[in-house]
């Protein structure tokens, strides 16, 4: 009997957003780790897809074009992953351009607030960590602050300075849930709620989020992700069953020394769930 084990990783980042490896390096690392179905899902941009796809193809690794879209829902940020999208689709490409357009001004304001907190020069400092000027993120500030010795870890930066409710946190109006799911679907893709365990919604808000997402045509939820604890694997497996969502899995890898979970280093999905990739050939 031929056994075909699919080792899937459908969530990770490159230098096109806030990852530390170039798209082709992420492809090579995924392949070296045994991944055979791989998606690159940079924040709010698909410009890394052509290079990632070409490298994956030359390695013989199945490739899925992806993106992780920033959404504001009920006053907080939610990430929606789009998988198997046409990365040249104008509606998607232009939508993403609009979503990321406020990032530079937000970064300047983060810099001003950090200045006021006695941490000077962080805007210029963060810029040195940015590889794509169109996409400056909190992660770039966090790397700078850690390397400067202001904080010991990225986690500490987010709990003291840049996380929600922290003094240097600059709230953003990202896209709406409807826009993000709409762009993904228009581009032929499948919308997936990223790392639901990271959001601080009440149980009632979560129910509304899942229902709205499903009503808008959202189809999947990340069950196994580098952002979830094993307990959360079961919680969101149950959500998938309850709402009829397909299940996704991805490391959310950002860099070799940074990410708790490396590419492809995830347990399998619970066997009764329908994988988001079940009908991709």
| Binding-site ranges for ligand AMP (CB under 6 A) | 18, 43, 70, 137-139, 154-155, 158, 254
Task: Give the integer Cα–Cα distance in Å for 263 and 59.
Answer: 16
CB of 22 to ligand AMP, least distance (A): 17
Q: Which stretch binds Mn ion (CB under 5 A): 22-30, 83-91, 171-179, 193-201?
A: 193-201
Tokens of 28: 């090579």
**Of the candidate residues 79, 89, 113, 190, the single one contacting Mn ion (CB under 5 A):** 79
Nearer to Mn ion, 87 or 252 (CB): 252
CB of 4 to ligand AMP, least distance (A): 32
Task: Enumerate residues 6+ apart whose C-beta is below 8 A from 48.
Answer: 14, 15, 16, 17, 23, 40, 42
CB of 111 to Mn ion, least distance (A): 19
Contact between 18 and Mn ion by CB under 5 A: the answer reads: yes
Query: Which does residue 138 bind out of ligand AMP, Mn ion, none, counting CB within 5 to 8 angstroms by kind?
Result: ligand AMP
Length of the chain measured in residues? 281
Task: Give the integer Cα–Cα distance in Å for 33 and 105.
Answer: 38
Contact (Cβ atoms closer than 8 angstroms) between residue 79 and residue 68: yes
Phi, psi dihedral angles at 111 (to 5 degrees): -60, -45
**Residue 23 belongs to what H/E stretch?**
helix 23-32
Query: Which does residue 42 bind out of ligand AMP, Mn ion, none, counting CB within 5 to 8 angstroms by kind?
Result: none
Q: Which residues would be at the binding site for Mn ion (CB under 5 A)?
A: 18, 68, 79, 194, 252
């Amino acid at each position: 009997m031929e056994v075909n084990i699919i080792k899937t990783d459908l969530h990770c980042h490159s230098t096109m957003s806030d990852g530390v490896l170039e798209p082709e390096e992420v492809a090579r690392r995924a392949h070296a780790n045994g991944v055979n179905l791989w998606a690159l899902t940079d924040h709010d941009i698909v410009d890394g897809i052509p290079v990632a796809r070409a490298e994956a193809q030359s390695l013989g690794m199945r490739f899925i074009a992806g993106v992780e879209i920033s959404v504001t829902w009920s006053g907080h940020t939610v990430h929606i992953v789009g998988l198997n999208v046409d990365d040249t689709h104008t509606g998607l490409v232009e939508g993403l351009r609009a979503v990321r357009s406020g990032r530079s001004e937000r970064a300047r304001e983060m810099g001003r607030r950090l200045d006021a907190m006695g941490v000077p020069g962080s805007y210029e400092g963060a810029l040195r960590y940015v590889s794509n000027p169109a996409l400056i993120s909190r992660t770039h500030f966090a790397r700078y602050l850690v390397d400067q010795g202001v904080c010991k870890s990225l986690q500490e930066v987010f709990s003291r300075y840049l996380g929600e409710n922290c003094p240097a946190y600059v709230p953003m109006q990202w896209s709406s849930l409807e826009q993000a799911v709409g762009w993904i679907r228009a581009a032929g893709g499948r919308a997936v709620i990223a790392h639901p365990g990271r959001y601080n919604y009440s149980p009632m808000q979560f129910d509304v989020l899942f229902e709205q997402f499903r009503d808008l045509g959202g189809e999947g939820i990340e069950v196994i992700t580098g952002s979830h604890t094993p307990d959360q694997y079961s919680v969101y497996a149950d959500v998938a069953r309850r709402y009829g969502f397909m299940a996704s899995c991805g490391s959310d890898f950002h860099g070799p020394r940074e990410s708790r979970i490396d590419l492809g280093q995830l347990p399998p999905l619970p066997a009764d769930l329908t994988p988001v990739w079940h009908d991709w050939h």
